Chains A and B, each alone.
Chain A
């Protein structure tokens, strides 16, 4: 009964390719997020959706496009992958922002 599940767990791809990461939560939360954790382990928010509406879009290249078909899903599509995109991408969800985030197990993306 995984609360926040994201796929794939590992993704190795060549520069210039386009890839997607999927995320689903079964907690009934109204807010979902994408975070990036780089090689220095610094975790940074990329996007936040509340009730399917984009409410936070940090300074992320427009090669990254999130899509939320419904409140339980938030997918991340990345175009023209670059070496610097290599990182662990975490999906998370919360009910509002008072109670903290529940994270998925992460997608380790390696661009070669």
Chain B
């Protein structure tokens, strides 16, 4: 089983749609959780951290369920500029700074 698993997609959605990505992680010692986005031939950029209480940043909502070891990202009112690969990322606990990236979910938003 991969340490961080994501549906690779691609997700093809029209502008204005709501789309949700899911991610599961295998190590229960994981302590920090993130979503990054990566555009083609560019570096990953931090989109948002993920907290157990859930957090929102504009059109983006992230959720963490520690019991199920599950992370989600919801994008509302999709824009063309949201087209990218979304990477689920897990960082292990103290004593190490190991950051594990999922393989990413590809999103295409169409006009």
State whether A43 touches B98 (Cβ < 8 A): no
Partner-binding segment picked from B14-22, B40-48, B58-66, B75-83: B40-48
B contact face: mostly helix, strand, loop, or mixed: strand
B18 to chain A, nearest CB (A): 25
State whether B87 touches A43 (Cβ < 8 A): yes
Using CB atoms and an 8 Å cutoff, list the residues of chain A in contact with chain B.
31, 33, 35, 40-45, 48, 50, 55-56, 58, 90, 94, 96-106
Q: Whole-angstrom distance between the alpha carbons of A105 and B101 in the complex? A: 17
The 20 sampled A-B contact pairs (Cβ below 8 Å) are A31-B97, A35-B101, A40-B103, A41-B104, A42-B101, A43-B87, A45-B100, A48-B96, A48-B97, A56-B96, A90-B44, A94-B97, A97-B31, A97-B32, A99-B49, A100-B32, A100-B46, A101-B46, A101-B99, A106-B43
State whether B99 touches A45 (Cβ < 8 A): yes
Contacts of B89 in A (CB 8 A): 100
Is residue B85 contacting chain A, with contact meaning CB distance below 8 A? yes
